[in-house]
Amino acid sequence: MPWFFIIFLLSCTFHNLSAEAGHGKKLPSAVVVGTVYCDTCFQQDFSRNSHFIPGASVAVECRDEKSRPSFREEVKTDEHGEFEVHLPFSVTKHVKKIKRCSVKLLKSSEPNCAVASSATSSALHLKSRKQGTHIFSAGFFTFKPEKQPILCNQKPTIENSREFSSRKNFSSFH
Q: What is the CATH number of the domain that holds 118?
A: 2.60.40.10
Pairing of strands 29-38, 133-144: parallel
Q: What is the pLDDT of residues 14-40, one digit of tens each?
A: 444 333 344 545 556 889 999 999 998
- When pLDDT is cut at 50, 70 and 90, the band that residue 12 belongs to is very low
Higher-pLDDT residue of 11 and 42 is: 42
For residue 21, tell me if it sits in a domain: no
Dihedral of CA 76/144/169/88: which sign? Answer: positive
Higher-pLDDT residue of 60 and 97 is: 60
Of 5-9, 48-52, 148-152, minimum mean pLDDT range: 5-9
Domain limits at 62? 27-170
Residue-level pLDDT at 120: 63
Residue 53 pLDDT greater than 50, yes or no: yes
Q: What is the pLDDT of residues 107-162, one digit of tens each?
A: 999 999 999 986 667 678 888 888 888 899 999 999 999 988 877 876 655 555 55
For residue 17, tell me if it sits in a domain: no
The count of structural domains within the chain is 1
